Structure 1
Amino acid sequence: MQGVLAVTLPVFLIIGAGYLAVWRGLFSAGQVDGLMVFTQRFAIPCLLFLAMARLDLSEGFDWRLLATYYSGSLVCFAAGIAGTLLWLGRGAEDAVAVGFAGMFANTVLLGLPIAERAYGTGALAPFFTIIAFHAGFCYLIGVTAMEVVRAGGGGLLGGLASVGRRLAGNSLVIGVVLGLAVNLTGLPLPGPLDEAVTLIARAALPAALFGLGGVLVQYRPEGDSRGIALVCGIALVLHPAWAWGMGRLLGLEDAPFRAAVLLAAMAPGVNSYLFAAIYGRAVRIGASSVLIGTAASVLTVSFWLLIL
């Protein structure tokens, strides 16, 4: 257990430091916004670019790994919708927003730092494989479902066009696509450029963790306790449990099995709130679930690491 805490506690201590710095006024909200712009538009895209450029595609893309993780995402999405309709007694649009919050795990800002500390940088290939599809998959499912249940607006085709534009301009997606292009073409990066990108990438995870803590200050827990409990239960319990069972059923090897379960155990990501805010549905549930889920994941992620 001490070994597990040695992996998780430094990560959450950095998040806590960011939270305290903003809460006590030592770091302003504007400064946090600037830090998050740097991490999400520059540093993390550089990290993903290098990871995909160096990924062994013959070993990294295992359909069983993707099936294990993303079948769980679909189950969580459906569970969120069903729980909202049947237990919370809310409408279909709220149900889609809650389902999205249960499905969208914080695979990058939280998952990568914990995985790196637990297994080392050399074992991250299956983690990057999952991350490469994560935003596109979740937004495609969420936007499609929301546009189906909405009356009016741009309709399904308009919603899909919107998500296409969002993904095309998403820095993380651009980093993944460019990295895959370099990988597939076999073009080497010039030495100075490779070193420069590597230097920026090294700053990605610690800066992102500190910034995440600062961002969480604005997501104050308020109201909708049952909805928050529903999302956190789905994200922190159902998803990793499903990934565990499916991974065993499909006979995943140890490295991809660990990647699927550990990333599935991550708390809801900030995009859970952003999706809810875009559509104006279940916004308080989405925001509070990010904060409370991240706090609760100190224990739940440690549990799954101990089991793994």
Structure 2
Amino acid sequence: MLDVLAVTVPVFLIIGAGYLAVWRGVFTQGQVDGLMVFTQRFAIPCLLFLAVSGLNLAEGFEWRLLTAYYSGSIVCFIAGILGTLFWLKRGPEDAVAVGFAAMFANTVLLGLPIAERAFGPESLTPNYAIIALHAAFCYFVGVATMETVRAGGSGFVGGARTVARSLATNPLMLGVALGLAVNLAGLSLPGPADEAVRLIASAALPAALFGLGGVLVQYRPEGDARGIALCCAIALLLHPAWAWGAGRLLGLEEGAFRAAVLTAAMAPGVNSYLFAAMHGRAVRITASSVLIGTAASVVTVSGWLLVL
């Protein structure tokens, strides 16, 4: 158990340090915003570019890995919708927003550093394969469902166009796309350029963890406590349990199996709140789920690591 805590506690201590720094006024919210701009527009795209450009595509994009993880995403999305409709007694648009939060795991800011500390940087190939498809998959499912239940406004086509434009200009997606292009073309960066990209990428995860803590100060644990509990339980327990069962059923290789389960065990990502805010639905539940889910994952992720 001490070995597991040695993996998870440092990650959450960095998040906690960012939270305390902003909460106590040592680091301003504007400075945190600037730090997150650096990590999300420069450092993490560089990290993803390097990872995908050197990825063994046949090994990384293994259908059993993607099936084990993303079938769980769909199950969590449906569970969030049904729980919101029949347990919380809220409308279908709120249900889609809660379902999206239950489905959208924090695969990068939490998933990568914990997996790297647990199993080593050489184990991250399946993690990067999941990350490469994650935002596009979740947003497509979320927007398609939201526009379907709304049956009005810009409609499904308009919503899909909005998401497509957003993803096409998203720095994380651009990092993945450029890395994939370099990989397929068999190219490599010149030595000095490669070293510069690696230097920027080396700052990505610690800076992002500190910034995530600062961002969480903006969220308050308010709203429907049952809704928060529903969302967190699905994200932290159901998703990894499903990935575990599906991975064993499909005979997933051990490294990919661990990546699927551990990535599925991550708390709801900040994009959960952004999706809810974009549609004006279940905003307090999703914001609180990001905050409380991240705090609760200190225990739940340690538990899943112990089982693994």
TMscore range, shorter length: over 0.9
Structural mapping, 1:178-217, within 5 Å: 178-217=178-217
Taking the aligned partners of 1:152 and 1:223, their CA distance within structure 2 comes to 27
Alignment-mate amino acid for residue 301 of structure 2: V
Taking the aligned partners of 2:227 and 2:59, their CA distance within structure 1 comes to 40
Alignment-mate amino acid for residue 151 of structure 1: A
Q: Residue 306 of structure 1: CA displacement? A: 0.4
Q: Residue 50 of structure 1: CA displacement? A: 0.1
Taking the aligned partners of 1:189 and 1:60, their CA distance within structure 2 comes to 22
| CA deviation map 1:271-293 (0-9, x unaligned) | 00000000000000010000000
Give % identity: 78
| CA deviation map 1:61-92 (0-9, x unaligned) | 10000000000000000000000000000000
- Alignment-derived partner of residue 128 in structure 2: 128
- Alignment-derived partner of residue 254 in structure 1: 254
Taking the aligned partners of 2:62 and 2:56, their CA distance within structure 1 comes to 11
| CA deviation map 1:31-53 (0-9, x unaligned) | 00000000000000000000000
- Alignment-derived partner of residue 166 in structure 1: 166
Q: Hey, which bits of structure 1, 4+ residues long, moved more than 2 A?
A: none
Taking the aligned partners of 2:36 and 2:188, their CA distance within structure 1 comes to 30
Q: Residue 59 of structure 1: CA displacement? A: 1.2
Taking the aligned partners of 1:270 and 1:160, their CA distance within structure 2 comes to 20
1:281 is paired with a residue whose SS is coil
Q: Residue 152 of structure 1: CA displacement? A: 1.9
Q: Does 1:72 align with 2:75?
A: no
Structural mapping, 1:96-175, within 5 Å: 96-175=96-175
- Alignment-derived partner of residue 19 in structure 2: 19
- Alignment-derived partner of residue 30 in structure 1: 30
Taking the aligned partners of 1:241 and 1:195, their CA distance within structure 2 comes to 40
Structural mapping, 1:42-61, within 5 Å: 42-61=42-61
Q: Residue 184 of structure 1: CA displacement? A: 0.3
- Alignment-derived partner of residue 286 in structure 1: 286
Q: Residue 58 of structure 1: CA displacement? A: 2.1
Q: Residue 223 of structure 1: CA displacement? A: 2.2
Unaligned ranges ≥5, structure 1? none
1:219 is paired with a residue whose SS is coil
2:267 is paired with a residue whose SS is coil
- Alignment-derived partner of residue 5 in structure 2: 5
Alignment-mate amino acid for residue 219 of structure 1: Y
Taking the aligned partners of 2:37 and 2:189, their CA distance within structure 1 comes to 25
| CA deviation map 1:79-119 (0-9, x unaligned) | 00000000000000000000000000000001000011011
Q: Does 1:87 align with 2:87?
A: yes
Taking the aligned partners of 1:246 and 1:59, their CA distance within structure 2 comes to 18
Q: Residue 188 of structure 1: CA displacement? A: 1.6
Count of residue pairs brought into register by the alignment: 308
Taking the aligned partners of 1:116 and 1:199, their CA distance within structure 2 comes to 18
- Alignment-derived partner of residue 272 in structure 2: 272
Taking the aligned partners of 2:168 and 2:134, their CA distance within structure 1 comes to 14
Alignment-mate amino acid for residue 254 of structure 1: E
- Alignment-derived partner of residue 302 in structure 2: 302
Alignment-mate amino acid for residue 277 of structure 1: A
Taking the aligned partners of 2:152 and 2:78, their CA distance within structure 1 comes to 23
Taking the aligned partners of 2:171 and 2:58, their CA distance within structure 1 comes to 26
Alignment-mate amino acid for residue 201 of structure 1: A
1:188 is paired with a residue whose SS is coil
Alignment-mate amino acid for residue 40 of structure 1: Q
| CA deviation map 1:149-176 (0-9, x unaligned) | 1132110100111110010011100000
Taking the aligned partners of 1:180 and 1:216, their CA distance within structure 2 comes to 32
TM-score, normalized by length of structure 2?
A: 0.99
Unaligned ranges ≥5, structure 2? none
2:219 is paired with a residue whose SS is coil
Taking the aligned partners of 1:21 and 1:188, their CA distance within structure 2 comes to 40
Q: Residue 225 of structure 1: CA displacement? A: 0.3
| CA deviation map 1:99-155 (0-9, x unaligned) | 000000000001000011011111100000000000000000000000001132110
